[in-house]
Structure 1
């Protein structure tokens, strides 16, 4: 159950999750970390009154978080000091912070726990569904972002050789590039992490610049919005308004509005003409 070392973006997601746990739940203290070498390395802490939790490493199967990590499901200790069913390897850090009630929630992506986040209180208290639900939602949100990042990384690796190629693209390679560009745009629309979005934007610019249709003399006096480019990128693949809406999470009427706005800015009357002009301007591959 060895997990890979987390990236800087992964660590930032965990830090955000920990801050959200304090902000969106009734628990005053939260902490968490990514899985590495069959252990959880706590890297983010919020609301703590001491430094007792600093540098905590929780091994698989040990303590409350270690069980949550192995079992891939939340674990709760209403009275941590006397809790049965867990080892008490980490009583020093946990009780040193004065935590009485503690819940550990794994962040599961696919079949693997990628991280564990904790939230706790300094007095023993019953934990109902309404109290625990926000913590579960936060864990699900982070799991979704990690899945998106995994897909982004996969596509970055797949597209990088194409983006670095100096030889003319074949028709098949060009279509593959355009499909990858459109899919990256749709993925980027769901990403909240600024670092991941920046990486996507850099790759998108590289992919768009590869178009041999670009006319260096064509300077547009208007700028298309990110959403207008998203819609045009999908339209360039021959997608219908309904298909574009499904890919980008937009209503048909919204897709139509973006297309009309893009056509007006580009001073053309059809989506096909809009795609061609956007390619000549280097906005699309």
Structure 2
């Protein structure tokens, strides 16, 4: 699957894979919308047989996806090329890929359309309600995750008014120090490292207006969240902390439950607000 990282890109890319796995549609793809919201760029593909759709720019109001941007509602056509309810600027790309029935669902985050999620079949079809419901669910979940991720970015920008690269370096150093604390042979040294990390986290939370909420995380739960906060996968967290992958998942689930978070991004936001992470 092609794509790019970022607060919009990652949730949309995951939505494409989850949606196609759940419904079995022949093709799923998606495109984030720039801030202006006047177009989308198809950046995530699953199940395609060509690269013709990759990087395709769809202007608001045109085709299925562009119409979804302007109406902010799902749009579907039984047979794309024969459909009279849409414009046909993208017929060549659609026919080259060999898809017929297409629908598009807007991914709403805040007041705007953050992306558009597509599903397609290689035969004419009006799609079943189950497929459309699943697409809407995936789009809603992605929109929520994008909104939370944007909140993370805003908090990062406010934290101590540091440039983005400096804030990231602090968070990487914090995560690495916690990892060293977990494997330190000298218990006293490990405890001192954790104290320094705690000071960093509390200072950052205070600078960005955060405050502790009475939640208690264990040292290992904090260690795992610190690794997740700098973008590391569960496998990478396991290697950094010298833990088993299932143990990492267990600590992450426990931390999310305590923080009232529904996903990794929400957990990081809550942990930073509570002074557990810088």
TM-score by length of 1: 0.59
Secondary structure at the counterpart of residue 82 of structure 1: coil
Task: Say if 2:260 is the partner of 1:248.
Answer: yes
Inter-partner Cα distance in structure 1 for 2:102 and 2:252: 43
Shift of 1:182: 3.9
**3, 24, 27: which one aligns with 2:25:** 27
Task: Report the CA distance between 1:126 and its aligned residue.
Answer: 2.7
Q: Partners in 2 of 1:228 and 1:178 — Cα distance?
A: 25
Give the Cα separation in 2 of the matches to 1:136 and 1:127.
13
Unaligned runs of 5+ in 1: 1-5, 201-224, 232-244, 251-281
d(CA) in 1 for partners of 2:254, 2:106: 38
Partner Cα separation in structure 2 for residue 43 and residue 108 of structure 1: 17
Change (3 A) 1:196 1:96: farther
The answer to whether the aligner puts 1:198 opposite 2:199 as a matched pair is no
Output one character per residue of 1:180-216: Cα deviation in whole Å (capped at 9) or x when no partner.
Answer: 1547x99xx9xxx99972269xxxxxxxxxxxxxxxx
Partner of 2:210: 180
- Partner of 1:107, secondary structure, is strand
Per the alignment, in what secondary structure is the counterpart of residue 33 of structure 1?
strand
1:15 to 10, 13, 16: 13
Which residue of the partner structure matches residue 95 of structure 1?
Answer: 95
Residue 150 (structure 1) shift? 1.3
Larger Rg: 1
User: Structure 2 matches for 1:192-271, cutoff 5 A?
Assistant: 197-198=229-230, 248=260
Q: Tell me the residue number matched to 1:79.
A: 79
Partner of 2:161 in structure 1?
A: 161
SS in 2 for 1:89: coil
Aligned length: 200
Deviation digits for residues 142-193 of structure 1 (CA, Å, limit 9, x no counterpart): 10110111111122222233898xxxx9xxx89945961547x99xx9xxx9
What's the offset of the Cα at 1:12? 2.4
Question: How far, CA to CA, are the matches of 2:111 and 2:15 in structure 1?
Answer: 20
Aligned partner of residue 116 in structure 2, secondary structure: strand
CA contact 1:149–1:196 (8 Å) conserved in 2: no
Q: In 1, are the aligned partners of 2:158 and 2:208 still within 8 Å (CA)? A: no
Q: Describe the SS at the equivalent of 2:137.
A: helix
User: What's the secondary structure of 1:80's corresponding residue?
Assistant: coil
Gaps of 5+ in 2: 168-198, 233-250, 263-274
TM-score by length of 2: 0.60
Q: Give the C-alpha shift of residue 137 in structure 1.
A: 0.9
Q: Aligned partners of 1:117, 1:156: CA distance in 2, in Å? A: 28
After superposition, the C-alpha distances for 1:71-97 in whole angstroms (9 at most, x for unaligned) are: 111100111111112100000111211
**Kept in 2: contact 1:107–1:113 (CA 8 A):** yes
d(CA) in 2 for partners of 1:226, 1:46? 28
1:51–1:198 distance in 2 versus 1, CA, 3 Å = same
- 1:216 aligns with none
The answer as to whether partners of 1:29 and 1:47 remain within 8 angstroms in 2 is yes
